[in-house]
Amino acid sequence: MLKYIFKRILILIPLIFLVSFIVFALMDNAPGDPVRTLVGENMTEEQIEQKREELGFNDPLLVRYGRYMKGIFRGDFGKSIYGNKDVLKEYLFRLPYTVKLALLSIFFTLIISIPTGIIAAVKQNTWIDAIFSAGAIMGLSIPGFWLGLMLVLIFSVKLGWFPVYGADEGLKSYILPAITLGVANASLLTRMTRSSLLDTIRQDYLKTVRAKGLSERKTILNHAFRNALIPIATIAGSQFSGLLSGSIIVENVFSWPGIGTLTVTAIRTHDITLATGCAVLTTMFTAVTLLIVDVLYAFIDPRIKAQYTGK
Amino acid sequence: MEIFKRKKKTVQQPKAFEGEYVLDVEDLKIRYETDDAVVYAVNGIDLKLKRKQTLGLVGETGAGKTSTVLALLKLIPTPPGVVEAKKILVNGKDVMALSDKQLQQIRGNEIAMVFQDPMTSLDPVYTVGEQIAESYMIHDKLSKKEALEEAKKMLEIVGIPAERSGEFPYQFSGGMKQRVVIAIALACRPNILIADEPTTALDVTIQLQVLELMKQLNEKYQTSTIMITHDLGIVAETCDEVAVMYAGQIVEKGTLEDVFENTKHPYTEGLFNSLPNMNDRNSKLNPIKGLIPDPTIVFTGCPFAERCRYAKEKCFKQKPTVKHLSESHQVKCLRYDEADFKIERSLK
């Protein structure tokens, strides 16, 4: 198992190279000049050129990229062009907001979608199933930004229960963005849970379990659902890693000080180091989250564990 | 302190039941109602099983054998299934009238089942030990630890080393899995064991081992058995009584001797004659012509008439009723006692 985890972490290294190079090259070719943006409009061409030289912008792309990567492996993600702030520090400062929001949102997703998915599957083709399915389709179709705005309008502006924007009021400020992020995820996961459970519910081994005299409830929960967990965990895992990279739209609606906002700001201001840093760090986080999900599989399904341990 | 004095429960005794028949089914009818059609799977079956006896249920695929036995555990999914019967008595209890909770107490405890395909009848995510232990936890109310200990003993009984109880089904071969399934079924010493083609999915060499094992255990625990199979060889090996099913009906029933030596129904004849001739490998196979009838059709006459080489006009028009030849032997055929009617069995 440890060997497997170690292997997966090693695979991260080429992945980081690839992602960072793509982002680096793209940012380099993007229209606009970071130096010009940085120094302002009152500078002469000479001064700009001098600044450019100073920041190393005149070196060839590969040289700059090499220099950047050397820094990364020492834990130095460079300094943002704007404000001259340490990129890693800036990222880590924003990260808790996004992580906490992601955790709350995935929690919300799971407690909604798993029970509804199970009920819909068990009551397949009844009106309950129809209502849950219709609800799930609706949840999937509602655009996040619209839902966010509506929630803010009703619960913050009209009723005043929650803050309108920002993350300054503790748990209260987390609730609306978490719900906004969670609705689409919960809808998808409800459908996933339903179909995955319907697959296992027809399996022969459930007949064995029922013939043993186990109650229907336990048959569904201990055996059918347990076997249906793999696809559910896959979807929930990728949803969670998606949440961790920060939702740009929802963070924007709620003026959330998270990773999404940081990344968008960096790109908008042509802040090459900050944008590349955000991309690389987010890649790492996503990869590690997915690794954790894969490790969780081993606990869900012994056959997968056997693959990992090479038994 | 009640808890501390609790005696460790024994799980060795078979369940006490003193009636003559452990199983008594009268006029069992099962149909599956879907949007498109109604499938008549079982059309009025009477079954009686004496203690310690083994009844063979023989017939082609689709004859309604599995539906019949699933109804005994009330495991037919409803809807689409509809089960009707005058009575289904298991150990004297009417399965039709029991609550879900009472049914759960019977299943696995008084009547247990071994399924056809061992590859798919074990839950892949639990160890075999846990799956056997589950029975003890449900019925004998043992703690998980005690139950796992019992499960190990049970594994030894079916010929699997106790150390392997922590392994998962994918680590076992087909024959071993079937042993585990048998261990699950026999864990709580049921009075009635239903074996639904327990050896169909296994290699021939393993089949014999599994049958031997079942036979031994049935003797040891005095279990009555219903053996579903389409292998007449297995019937000859293991059964005391035979019921031949066709299109959801029992067409002939009797002791092994009655049915094998004194065959009366043309369908039974066809089953025997379709066996390959081991002595003459050049002889042609002699299958029953035609196919098993569409189960959505309600017959006005004998369902076998279309395929029967003895069928006369009346066979298509009149429903055959059960005729008793002797106390044990019964047949459902209109012509069996007519003068020109004689079953031809090729001797093998």
> Percent of chain A, pLDDT > 70?
96
Amino acid (one-letter) located at B261: E
CB contact under 8 A, A213 and B184: no
DSSP B196: E
Please tell me which residue of chain B has the smallest CA distance to A298. Answer: B125
Predicted confidence at residue A119, as pLDDT, reads 92
Q: B124 and A214: CB-CB below 8 Å?
A: no
Q: Which residues, 6 or more positions from A125, have their beta carbon under 8 angstroms from its beta carbon?
A: none
Most confident of A184-193, B60-69, B83-92, B190-199: A184-193
CA distance A272 to A30: 10
Residues 6+ apart with CB under 8 A from A271: A34, A80, A81, A82, A265
Contact A116, A182 (CB under 8 A): no
**Are A204 and B115 a contacting pair, CB within 8 Å?**
yes
pLDDT digits 0-9 by tens, A108-162: 999 999 999 999 998 888 899 899 989 999 988 988 888 888 888 888 888 878 8
The tokens for B262 are: 């004194």
How many Cβ pairs within 8 Å bridge chains A and B? 80
User: What confidence tens digit (pLDDT) does each residue in B284-316 have?
Assistant: 777 888 788 888 878 788 888 888 877 777 788
Superfamily name and number for A88-309: MetI-like (1.10.3720.10)
Instruction: Return the pLDDT at A298.
Output: 80
CB B308 within 8 A of CB B315: yes
- Alpha-carbon distance B152 to nearest alpha carbon in chain A (angstroms): 17
Q: Do B104 and A214 touch (CB under 8 A)?
A: yes
Q: Which residues of B touch A302 (CB under 8 A)?
A: 124-125, 127, 168, 170
Cβ contact (<8 Å) for B134 and A212? yes
CA gap A124, A148 in Å, rounded? 32
Across the interface, do A302 and B124 touch by the CB < 8 Å criterion? yes
- Higher-confidence residue of A44 and A185: namely A185
Chain B closest-CA separation from residue A302 CA (Å): 6
Give the distance from residue B87's alpha carbon to the nearest chain A alpha carbon, in angstroms. Answer: 20
Contact (CB<8Å) A211/B117: no
Determine the 3-state secondary structure of B150 from DSSP.
helix
Structure tokens that stand for B126 in this block: 């639990």
Chain B residues within an 8 Å CB radius of A215: 100-101, 104
Contact (CB, 8 A) for A17 and A69: yes
Is A217 buried (19+), middle (13-18) or exposed (0-12) by CB count in 10 A? exposed
Quick one: average pLDDT of A23-37?
76
CA pair distance B118, B120, nearest whole angstrom: 5
Instruction: Tell me the average pLDDT across B67-83.
Output: 85
Distance in angstroms (rounded) separating the CA atoms of residues B329 and B345 = 18
Query: What is the mean predicted confidence (pLDDT) over A175-201?
Result: 89
B116 to chain A nearest CA, in Å? 9
pLDDT value at residue B3: 46
A213 within 8 A of B109, measured Cβ to Cβ: yes
Task: Write the residue in A214, A302, A306 that is nearest to B134 by C-beta.
Answer: A214
Query: What is the residue extent of each domain of chain B?
Result: 21-239, 245-331
pLDDT in tens, B5-41: 444 444 444 555 667 788 888 888 888 888 888 888 8
Query: Quick check: B67 contacting A, CB < 8 Å?
Result: no
The answer to whether the beta carbons of residues A224 and A117 sit under 8 Å apart is no
Third-level CATH fold of B21-239: Rossmann fold (3.40.50)
Which residue in A205, A302, A306 is closest to B121 by CB distance?
A205
Residue labelled with tokens 């090459």? A272
CA dihedral A23, A28, A32, A35 (to 10 degrees): 110
For residue A22, is pLDDT > 60? yes
Residues of chain B contacting residue A223, judged by C-beta atoms under 8 Å apart: 123, 126
More confident residue, B153 or B20: B153
Run of H or E including B255 = strand B249-255
Is the ipTM reported for this complex over the cut 0.85?
no
A309 or B111: whose pLDDT is higher?
A: B111
Nearest residue of A to residue B190, measured between CA atoms? A212
Peptide linkage before A14 cis (omega within 30 of 0): no
Question: Is B168 within 8 Å of A303 when comparing Cβ atoms?
Answer: yes
CA–CA distance, B291 with B282 (Å, rounded to integer): 25
Contacts of A110 (CB under 8 A, 6+ apart): A189, A236
Cβ <8 Å between B107 and A213: yes
Task: State the Cα–Cα distance between residues B178 and B315, nearest whole angstrom.
Answer: 42
User: Which of A48-52, A165-169, A285-289 has the lowest average pLDDT?
Assistant: A165-169
Which tens digit of pLDDT belongs to each residue from B236-288?
Answer: 888 888 999 888 888 888 888 888 888 888 888 888 888 887 777 777 777 88
Task: Tell me the pLDDT tens digit for each residue of A207-260.
Answer: 888 888 888 888 888 889 988 988 888 888 888 888 887 677 888 888 888 888
Query: Quick one: pLDDT at residue A108?
Result: 92
C-alpha dist (Å) from residue A123 to A81, A101, A141, B9, B16: 58, 33, 24, 38, 38
Regarding predicted confidence, which is higher, A306 or B122? B122
Q: Parallel, antiparallel, or unpaired for β B323-324 and B330-331?
A: antiparallel
Give the pLDDT band of residue B229 (cuts 50, 70, 90): confident
pLDDT given at position A194: 92
Residue-wise pLDDT for B89-107, tens only, equals: 888 888 888 888 888 888 8
How distant is the Cα of B17 from the closest Cα of chain A, in angstroms? 19
For residue A157, the number of C-alpha atoms closer than 13 Å in the C-beta half-sphere is 8
Give the C-alpha distances (Å, rounded to integers) separating A198 from A131, A134, A178, A184, B61: 17, 17, 29, 21, 26
The alpha carbon of residue A205 is apart from the nearest alpha carbon of chain B, in Å, by: 4
- Give the residue among B66, B44, B161 at the shortest CA–CA distance from B121: B66
Query: Is the pLDDT confidence value at A41 over 80?
Result: no
